[in-house]
Every structure is written in C-alpha cells, then in structure tokens.
Amino acid sequence: MMRRSLTILTGGTAALTLALPASAAYASPATAHAVKVPKASNSRYVAGYAQVGCGRKGYPQYVQILGDITVPKATDAGGTPGNSTDYYTLRPGRNPNGASKGVAAGVAVLTDAGTSFIYAYGLWYGLPIARASFPVQAGNKLQVEIQNEGSGNWRVEITDETTDQQWSQTNPDSAMPKNACTAGAFESSSYPVYDVLTKTRPVTFGFSRVLWGQKGQRVASVSRLLGKLPAHAKLLRYSLVNTHGHIVAGTSKPKDHDNNFTVTDK
C-alpha cells in the first residue's frame, strides 16, 4: 500500500483530532509564517533539520511526521567498524540537539570489515529497537510515518516503495504521553561513536510533511517540514561534528519545491 497517508495531506487542514487538548476552544487556524533556511549549527549528535514548536503557551504541538528516505550505500568506514542512522522523529523536548527521547523511524547502516548491514527500524523511548519485518537494500526508497494514535501510543509505519512491502507497529512512548514539541529528519551516530561514523553516499530526505495542532483548534493542520512554519515554531539546521569539532556530516539547503535535502558525510 503506497502513499496511504496522502489523503490526509492534500489540504490546508486535515480532519484529524488525535491528541489535541480537549479544552481548546474553536478558533480560526493560526497563521503560518515563511522562514529562511538557517545557517547550520554544530551538533555532537545529529545532522539535519528540526521544526521546533511548544513555543507561546505550549503550541504548536506535532501529531504526525511523514517523509521519504533513500537508503544510502556505505562507501567507507575508515577501516574501523562504524554505524549511522537516518530517520524521522517526533520528540517531547524543545531542544532536539541531544539525547533522542521520543519516537524515531528510518534506516540503520552498520559497516564492519567492508561489509554493510542495513535494516529499517522503529524506536520508542524506553523500548528495544524494533526491526522491520522485511530486508532493505541501498537505493530503495522508504516512506516513513510516525503518528500519534492517542492514549500515549505512537504508530510507526515504513513502506518500501521499491519492493511494495510494508511494516507497522504501535507502542507507548514513556517520554511522550501526549504530543511532540519537535519534528525532525536527521542522520546520527550514537555518542561518542560518531568519531567512526559509517560513511555513506549522500542521504536524501524528501517529501516531508508534519501535522500539528495549535491553540484554539480541534483539528490538525498540515505544513512542510522545511516550508511555511506554524505560528510560534522555528526551524533549526545542524551539522554533525566529532569530538575534535570537525564536521563529519553536513546538511544541504532544500533542493526543490518538495524541500528535499541531503546529508553528506565528509
């Protein structure tokens, strides 16, 4: 089943209530605002972009993220076993540049002695990593979705659009019982092993959308991860640096109208 979620994302407002606060009064949607692509800040954890909400009076809050990842091909690990993960995420905190609480889903690449091991996965904070039920290969295009199912449960769905295989799992996340304050798309390697980050060909993130709730609304509105932002949200961009401060993965500016971008290992 391909592009199942597009029916949600075709309009400016989606008929999706999910876990928006029941006390919110009806009002017109908050005005979205355009944003310039920020300069990249250095991070010891991630390269990529984050849209950060929970600003004025705790809004906006995110209930879904949907996007594509082209599975990268590992080219070199520098003679040392290395790993990297490329994923979409919804997180509870406003600071995405740190330990990854919340829900993440994407693809992991492990390289050892010139052999690469690749798998798609979902990860809920406080639970073991869950691998997708089908294998993936370099060059395959994955659609990744994370969505709030209510009652503290979060669904991860990954579709391999190259092979038309799909995997889905729903679990609670102990760090995020309600909605998320941050939506992002990143490449990372667990601290401090980014000093031996598996080098891959440029990783393409594309077609990324978020659903978010604003104070005064009972529905979720749609925007692009890197497009017009909800009121009181901001966009952050990161380059991954090692313990010596050298950039090991850089994040490009959006490349087209779908806001595709790449993360390139140095």
pLDDT in tens, the chain (266 residues): 444 433 333 233 333 334 443 333 323 345 566 778 899 999 988 999 999 999 888 889 999 999 999 998 876 656 667 788 999 999 998 887 766 689 999 999 888 777 888 999 999 998 999 999 999 999 999 999 999 998 899 999 999 999 999 999 999 988 887 889 999 999 987 655 555 677 888 898 988 899 998 766 667 788 889 988 888 899 999 999 888 888 989 999 987 777 789 999 88
pTM score over 0.95: no
d(CA 135, CA 62): 30
- The CATH number of the domain holding residue 136 is 2.60.120.700
Judge whether 1 lies within some domain.
no
Gyration radius of the chain over CA positions? 18
Q: Taking the mean position of all CA atoms in its chain, how far away is CA 249?
A: 16
Tally of residues, the chain: 266
- Which residues, other chains included, contact 62 with Cβ-Cβ below 8 Å and sequence gap of 6+? 51, 53, 90, 179, 180, 181, 182, 183, 210, 211, 212, 213
Which domain covers residue 40, as residue numbers? 6-265
- Run of H or E residues at 68: strand 61-70
The total of other beta-carbon atoms located within 10 Å of residue 256's CB is: 8
Cβ atoms of 224 and 212 closer than 8 Å:
no
Number of domains in the chain: 1
